[in-house]
């Protein structure tokens, strides 16, 4: 590991961005799997894929919100020009939870027969909605918040944030 990789690893903003890329991959997987449910040949694989992505969102996406809400946003509380955007982004986290909830509830009910015909019809729309709001939010954060926050905070902040995020995962 060279010096650059090491500082990259500890940089809190980069860590948030890396998680965004994983969230986008999982969103793509979820959308694709929901669309393939209706295909009898792909149904079983789709169900597995949906279960896997739903468990990702239940774990990793929750921790990502914690990283932002407990590690990044509080550091920005004293920067007046960022207050408005932080409060919008914070509210959007609740919208993500609300959009994810019906998907989680459906998946939780499944037994070995998988989704009902009605659920099969509902899932693509629910996944598309989650995908759309998440991507808009991520773009907003990376375009309008992270660069401004990095500039406004002291130079040591990015690494301090990275250490907090690591500690949150018990590493
Ligand atoms: Fe966020
Ligand atoms: Fe984020």
| 16 CA distance to ligand 2 middle (Å) | 6
| 160 CA distance to ligand 1 middle (Å) | 19
| 44 CA distance to ligand 2 middle (Å) | 31
| 137 CA distance to ligand 1 middle (Å) | 6
What is the full DSSP assignment across 66-135? HIIIIIIGGGGTT-HHHHHHHHHHHHHHHHHHHHHHHHHHHHHH--TT---HHHHHHHHHHHHHHHHHHH
With vertex at residue 93, the alpha carbon angle to CA 136 and CA 18, rounded to the nearest 5 degrees, is: 65
Given a contact cutoff of 8 angstroms between Cβ atoms, the answer to whether 61 and 96 are in contact is: yes
Dist. CA 96–CA 86, nearest whole Å: 15
Q: Name the average pLDDT for the chain.
A: 93
What single-letter DSSP state applies at residue 11?
A: -
| pTM of the model as a whole | 0.92
Question: Token pair 């989650």 is at which residue?
Answer: 130
Confidence at 6, pLDDT banded by 50, 70, 90: low
| 86 CA distance to ligand 1 middle (Å) | 9
Over residues 59-95, the pLDDT tens digits come to: 988 999 999 999 999 999 989 999 999 999 999 999 9
Dist. CA 19–CA 23, nearest whole Å: 6
């Amino acid at each position: 590991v060279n010096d650059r990789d090491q500082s990259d690893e500890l940089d809190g903003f980069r860590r948030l961005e890396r998680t965004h890329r994983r969230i986008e991959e999982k969103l793509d997987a979820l959308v694709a799997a929901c669309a393939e449910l209706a295909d009898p040949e792909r149904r079983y694989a789709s169900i597995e894929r949906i279960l896997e992505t739903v468990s990702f969102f239940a774990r990793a996406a929750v921790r990502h919100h914690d990283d932002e809400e407990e590690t990044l946003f509080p550091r920005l509380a004293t920067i007046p020009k960022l207050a408005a955007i932080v409060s919008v982004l914070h509210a959007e986290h609740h919208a993500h939870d609300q959009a994810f909830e019906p998907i989680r509830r459906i998946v939780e009910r499944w037994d070995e027969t998988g989704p009902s015909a009605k659920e099969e019809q509902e899932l693509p729309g629910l996944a598309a909605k989650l995908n759309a709001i998440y991507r808009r939010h991520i773009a907003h954060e990376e375009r309008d918040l992270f660069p401004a926050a990095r500039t406004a905070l002291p130079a040591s902040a990015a690494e301090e944030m990275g250490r907090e995020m690591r500690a949150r995962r018990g590493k």
